[in-house]
Amino acid sequence: MDKDCTIYVAGHRGLVGSALVRRLKEQGYGRIVHQTSSELDLRDRDQVERWFSEQSIDYVFLAAAKVGGIAANQDFPADFIRDNLLIQTNVIDAAYRHNVKKLLFLGSTCIYPKLAPQPMREQDLLGGPLEPSNEPYAVAKITGIKMCQAYNRQYGTRFISVMPTNLYGPQDNFDLHTSHVLPALIRKFHDAMVSNAASVEVWGSGEPKREFLHSDDLADACVFLMKNYGGDEIVNVGWGKDIKISELAALIGRIVGYEGDIVYDRTKPDGTPRKLVDVSRLTEMGWQARITLEEGLRRTYQDYLKEIYHTGGVR
């Protein structure tokens, strides 16, 4: 990627998109273009067509999507499959028709079978039934992967697909109904600490395990892959270790300084029991994550505090 190339970061205000913009700027890329969803609704083919005709885009990071935690996926399954299919189809097709040099599609590790052997390897894709709580979202993501591969085969494009594990960092969604577990627990423990509450409620049994990667590490991996990888195979990105939700809750409680009890609401779903990814493909290419969970959590909690105290709220 030449320093004067035009890079479109779709979803630049989100967790991943904002980290990508930070990383690209740090590396000296000066022509980064983007639009908010109200300026450019990527579900609308005509708007997408107009945007690609007006810009001369060389590279696309496709980080715009309908994203949410376990409850949002269960409550809005139609929105998750429709919006993601529309966004990714419109952007991938426009990138082909407007001769984009390379596109990076962001998938997710929920594409792997619910009971895939751990750690999950790239070749486990389509090896068994999916986790029901996020199946519509996962099916949209699998379609995005297959679309990139089909365009590469038929049209000779260079569209690559990256599968990140559960992410966290600045600009995350802290809404208690729609967020993922890590930002939800930061907010719950912080609120409980401030209000002196006797306990914090954690959903499910606390037994499922998840792997967490800081968005700055993911952005670094995506820029690395955009520069160094042109293959058809999907690539996992993760930290390499997972922890139980109960351990995560205890760690966040300690970082926030909350000393009350943790109670488990077993009426809420656990979701998939475990989803650790095998990162050997990426490690063999020479990339490794750097931000430990404890350091990343401390940074994220500081960012959260700055956000609520200086701007009056978080999304």
Ligand X SMILES: C[C@H]1O[C@H](OP(=O)(O)OP(=O)(O)OC[C@H]2O[C@@H](n3cnc4c(=O)[nH]c(N)nc43)[C@H](O)[C@@H]2O)[C@@H](O)[C@@H](O)C1=O
Ligand Y SMILES: NC(=O)C1=CN([C@@H]2O[C@H](COP(=O)(O)OP(=O)(O)OC[C@H]3O[C@@H](n4cnc5c(N)ncnc54)[C@H](OP(=O)(O)O)[C@@H]3O)[C@@H](O)[C@H]2O)C=CC1
Just list the catalytic residues: 137
| Complex with ligand Y: residue 164 or 192, whichever CB lies closer | 164
Residue 38 β-bridge partners? none
Interface segment toward ligand X; rule CB under 6 A; list 4-12, 19-27, 154-162, 181-189: 181-189
Is residue 272 part of the contact set for ligand Y (CB under 6 A)? no
Q: Toward ligand Y, which CB reaches closer, 113 or 164?
A: 164
Q: Please give, one letter per residue, the 3-state secondary structure of 289-303.
A: CCCCHHHHHHHHHHH
Max Cα–Cα distance, the chain, nearest Å? 61
Q: If binding is defined by CB under 6 A, does position 22 make contact with ligand Y?
A: no
Q: Is 260 annotated as a binding residue?
A: no
Q: Which partner, ligand X, ligand Y, none, binds residue 179 by CB below 5 to 8 Å per kind?
A: ligand X
Instruction: Decide the pairing of beta strands 6-10 and 59-62.
Output: parallel
Pattern of binders to ligand X over 105-134, x per CB under 6 A?
---x-x-----------------------x
Segment near ligand Y (CB under 6 A), from 96-104, 127-135, 159-167, 258-266? 159-167
CA dihedral (17, 19, 21, 27) positive or negative = negative
3-state secondary structure of 262: strand
- Would you count residue 171 as binding ligand X (CB under 6 A)? no
Q: Does 66 bind ligand Y (CB under 6 A)?
A: yes
Closest listed residue to residue 282, CA positions, set 102, 59, 61, 122:
122
Q: Binds 16, which of ligand Y, ligand X, none (CB < 5 to 8 A, cut-off by type)? A: ligand Y
Helix (H, G, I), strand (E, B) or coil at 175: coil
Q: Rule CB under 6 A: say whether 179 interacts with ligand X.
A: yes
| Chosen residue from 73, 89, 90, 108 binding ligand Y by CB under 6 A | 108
Tell whether 268 is in a known binding site: no
The token pair at 207 is: 């037994």
141 is annotated as contributing to ligand binding: yes
Q: Which of 264, 261, 256 is nearest to 297 (CA)?
A: 256
Rounded Cα distance, 242 and 191, in Å: 26
Dihedral over Cα of 307, 309, 311, 315: its sign: positive
Does 212 bind ligand X (CB under 6 A)? Our answer is: no
| Type of residue numbered 43 | R
The answer to whether residue 47 forms part of the interface with ligand Y (CB under 6 A) is no
Which conformational region is residue 175 in: left (phi greater than 0), alpha (psi within -120 to 50 degrees), or beta? beta
**42 forms part of the interface with ligand Y (CB under 6 A):** yes
292 is in an annotated binding site: no
Q: Flag whether 165 is marked binding.
A: yes
- Cβ atoms of 134 and 70 closer than 8 Å: yes
Question: How many residues touch ligand X (CB under 6 A)?
Answer: 26
Q: Residues within the annotated binding site? A: 11-17, 106-109, 141, 164-167, 180, 188, 203, 210, 270
Q: Which residues in this chain contact ligand Y in the complex, by CB under 6 A?
A: 11, 13-17, 36-37, 40-43, 63-67, 83, 87, 106, 108, 164, 166-167, 173, 180
